[in-house]
Structure 1
Amino acid sequence: MSTRAARRLARIGAALVSRRRAARLAFTAGNHVRLFSSGTDYFAALIAQVDAAKESVVLETYIFCDDDAGRPVSDALIRAARRGVRVRVMTDGLGTARLALFDEWRAAGIEHRIYNAGWLGFGLLGRFGLSRTHRKLALVDEHVAFCGGINIVDDFASPGGRLARARWDFAVELTGPVVPRVSAALDTQWRRLELGHRPYAASMSRARELRAQATSTGASAPSHSSPNASEHALKAPSVAFIARDNFVNRRAIEKAYLVAIGRARHEILLANPYFVPGRKLRRALVAAARRGVDVRLLIGRKEFLALDRAVPYLYRTFLGAGAKISEYEKTVLHGKVAVVDSNWATVGSSNLDALSLVLNNEANVVLIEHAEIGRLREAILAAFAEARPIDPARYAARPWPERLTSWLAYAAYRAVMKLLTVGGYD
């Protein structure tokens, strides 16, 4: 091999290593976390922080509605911009319709960019292919961050009419060493939306800088997502932020789940509205149930008919391993949350389906040994108690037309998702 070729190979290897290191899950101690279990509380906290902002506000969301929830948030953003705060908003080209609010933002000096606005006026296909930004993030004065599954939309709003009960969803407010990582993700996304700009070299440099900074201050815990804090000497409550994209952190959120599930000893509580995980996650959950872990899956229903038909096809595998499944129908289950062994939890935007795990931009927070884990666990258990349990005997005795419909729906879903993700979904 020539010297030139060897040097080129070394550069490629170094780049790959630096990417892997930057993508690893890094925990930091010394953070304050506040859990919100409704949009009402979350919006009030977000508006209060925006009204107190002195320098900057950044918001990224899949859906921003001009309704009873979105209008007050928009008004707060406009107030901030008019008093000299730099306000940047990112919305998704498919999730958020063209709103009159956009003109009001522009007039007030708010900078607004649309992710994958689409060609020829269509929001489905754009610069980034079929990818969407499904993240729900906010950052105020580089000091307070928000992350979760709550869109900027009324808790009771639904395409089919007003909900009888508020949507079941969660978000967290963060302060402390984890905030710069949220800032880095938002900055990368903002640069990404600048046509022709390539933000990745700067983003990787920022990620390495953050890791070195955390290591030098002793604030960073080991880069694992273990549900057993003592196993990795995580003596203080620790927090990690994960931003999934299609460039650097392709499988970051899935890997966090896999490590936690693989190390579970007692209990796995998992709630998700679109539960169609790939083979690795399915096998991990089955293996946990078979080794005696109490695995409980809370599944959302009555939002997409195709998923209502397809998802039950997977129940056989989990029920056969001893897992418990309940379908939540009291309202729209939109939360994407999990608790493992009462000392590991995640809250975020990522569903456990092909779109979230392989295609879309997502963001989750992982908590270890944090006080808010207990509150989240109680909320999941309460919802599980209100949901309709799937009886293994009745499930096995389903009439053949129902079983055939379920199989066909799942097969169709899998085929479409493999096509959309170019074979990434398994």
Structure 2
Amino acid sequence: MSGGDGRRFDRLTQHLPGRRYWSRYRFCSGNSVRLFTAGETYFAALIERIDAAKSNVALETYIFCDDASGRPVSDALVRAATRGVRVRVITDGVGTERLPMFNDWQAAGIEHRIYNPHIFGRFGFSRTHRKLAVVDDEFGYCGGINVVDDYDQNGTRLPYARWDFAVELEGPVVADVLEAFDVQWERIRIGHRPALVPPPVGGATPQAATERFVRVRRSARTADMRAMAEPCVAFVARDNFVNRRAIEKAYLTAIGQARSEVLLANPYFMPGRKLRRALIYAAQRGIDVRLVIGRKEFAMLDYAVPFLYRTLLKAGVKIAEYEKTMLHGKVAVVDSNWGTVGSSNLDALSLMLNNEANVVLVLHPEIDQLRTAIVAAFDEGRRIDEKHYAARPAGERLLNWFAYNTYRLAMKLLTVGGYD
């Protein structure tokens, strides 16, 4: 790394975990991870675990639909509650409408709380956008998959299953998933920030864990890497109290440490300046940076996002727009050794307002499967060519500028100036 790049990296990471602020998330080893690439397999596994539950089930989701996917999950929750298992469910007041099945939940003894029932409520404009579950304190789930039919998009039938991911976790990291759910459960009840819990003992800081795998990579060949370092997992929850920038910092740490490749897929790509600069600096220092961006869900973003392409393309970032089906996954892989799966979009709402949750994997074999999926989506997407982009009509360029600045102004107002 040159002196200029080194100074940029120092500026980029001066506020990351491990430098000045402690974070409530940790990396821990001894976990097993199972990656799901579609809702169908994810729901089948979740229902199997719920049907085997003996003591407790906790589920938090932005969307819970009364459809071909949601009803079997609801039925499993009811069966569990009926046989004496404590079942708690959190849904979002905007993401999930008031469903008749809520009456069935109440009759079965399911405890149900709604986060911020109105668009503007006691938690402001924020939503719980997380997709979490914990069964018997033994199995944890995190990802981007809502409880909704894979093929349904606001009443329209998708040609292929929604492109999305979730993970099943087993091991010490499950305690962190449950803690995040419990804090949210109490936050809804009391309406303000619950008492803080000290960081768990025995875990490394996120920065230390990331630097550890970088040191291993410097001293070992790729083929020997996994044999020389222990796989670890971190659960990263974003809120508006303690970890306001937790997920963004996790991305910045990994991108800043990249040595060969950054692969990133996200449906709503409108990050602030820090994350954009991180991607630009990575490309400028020779890293292969590839972005897969979703389209055709919100017209405003379809026009606003391309405004960001010019500086990214100029730096050498490769961009593909994915239109085969609805891209909903929020995933990334760095150097085939760091990966993340979660609910956080890379936009102002997810990074600055909403409650989000991601899982970060370091040196886990599932990263290879995740990388393969991102590369395939990039290859299937419509590649953005710099020359064709620069030659687009003046009216389109003006529309991109207007949409981006309108979005930016709206987000700055909602985040009280926090979005940059």
Q: Structure 1 length normalisation: TM-score? A: 0.89
Which of 153, 159, 163 is the matching residue for 1:164?
159
Residue 159 (structure 1) shift: 1.6
Partner of 1:9: none
Alpha-carbon distance in 2 for matches of 1:269, 1:53: 37
Alpha-carbon distance in 2 for matches of 1:128, 1:312: 32
Aligned ranges for residues 236-275 of structure 1 at < 5 Å? 236-275=230-269
Contact 2:206 2:250 in 1 (8 A): no
Q: Could you say if the C-alpha distance between residues 237 and 298 of structure 1 is closer, same or farther in structure 2, counting changes exceeding 3 Å?
A: same
| Structure 2 residue identity aligned to 1:223 | P
Q: Could you say if the C-alpha distance between residues 165 and 110 of structure 1 is closer, same or farther in structure 2, counting changes exceeding 3 Å?
A: same
Partner of 2:304: 310
Which of 378, 382, 386 is the matching residue for 2:380?
386
Write the deviation string for residues 69-97 of structure 1: whole angstroms up to 9, x where unpaired. 00000000000000000000000000000
Contact 1:221 1:238 in 2 (8 A): no
Listed as ranges, the gaps of 5+ residues in structure 2 are 1-17, 218-227
Contact 1:226 1:232 in 2 (8 A): no
SS for the counterpart of 2:210 is coil
Alpha-carbon distance in 1 for matches of 2:236, 2:34: 18
Alpha-carbon distance in 1 for matches of 2:405, 2:72: 43
| Structure 2 residue identity aligned to 1:131 | S
| Structure 2 residue identity aligned to 1:157 | D
| Structure 2 residue identity aligned to 1:53 | A
Alpha-carbon distance in 1 for matches of 2:134, 2:411: 33
Partner of 2:343: 349
Which of 392, 395, 409 is the matching residue for 2:389?
395
Which of 160, 163, 176 is the matching residue for 1:181?
176
Residue 349 (structure 1) shift: 0.1
Off by >6 Å, runs of 4+ in structure 1: none
Contact 2:145 2:164 in 1 (8 A): yes
The question of 1:64 aligning with 2:47 is answered no
Residue 227 (structure 1) shift: 7.3
Contact 2:57 2:136 in 1 (8 A): yes
Contact 2:263 2:333 in 1 (8 A): yes
Residue 195 (structure 1) shift: 3.4
Write the deviation string for residues 360-386 of structure 1: whole angstroms up to 9, x where unpaired. 000000000000000000000011111
Contact 2:267 2:294 in 1 (8 A): yes
The question of 1:36 aligning with 2:36 is answered yes
| Structure 1 residue identity aligned to 2:381 | A
Residue 226 (structure 1) shift: 2.2
Residue 127 (structure 1) shift: 1.0
Corresponding residue pairs, total? 391
Alpha-carbon distance in 1 for matches of 2:129, 2:394: 37
Partner of 2:150: 155
Write the deviation string for residues 201-229 of structure 1: whole angstroms up to 9, x where unpaired. 2xx22x43x2x2xx2xxxx3443262761
Contact 1:227 1:341 in 2 (8 A): no
Contact 1:297 1:324 in 2 (8 A): yes
Alpha-carbon distance in 2 for matches of 1:230, 1:385: 28
Residue 20 (structure 1) shift: 4.0
Partner of 2:97: 97
Write the deviation string for residues 109-167 of structure 1: whole angstroms up to 9, x where unpaired. 0000000012xxxxx11110100000000000011000000000000001251111100
Q: Could you say if the C-alpha distance between residues 186 and 232 of structure 1 is closer, same or farther in structure 2, counting changes exceeding 3 Å?
A: farther
Partner of 1:295: 289
Root mean square deviation, CA, Å: 1.6
Aligned ranges for residues 120-135 of structure 1 at < 5 Å? 124-135=119-130
Contact 1:227 1:343 in 2 (8 A): no
Partner of 2:206: 223
Contact 2:26 2:204 in 1 (8 A): yes
Partner of 1:7: none
Q: Structure 2 length normalisation: TM-score? A: 0.91
Alpha-carbon distance in 2 for matches of 1:356, 1:392: 29
Alpha-carbon distance in 2 for matches of 1:402, 1:231: 46
Residue 25 (structure 1) shift: 4.0
Identity value in percent: 67
The question of 1:327 aligning with 2:311 is answered no
Contact 1:147 1:348 in 2 (8 A): yes
Q: Could you say if the C-alpha distance between residues 41 and 367 of structure 1 is closer, same or farther in structure 2, counting changes exceeding 3 Å?
A: same
Contact 1:150 1:171 in 2 (8 A): yes
Contact 1:228 1:341 in 2 (8 A): no
SS for the counterpart of 1:194 is helix
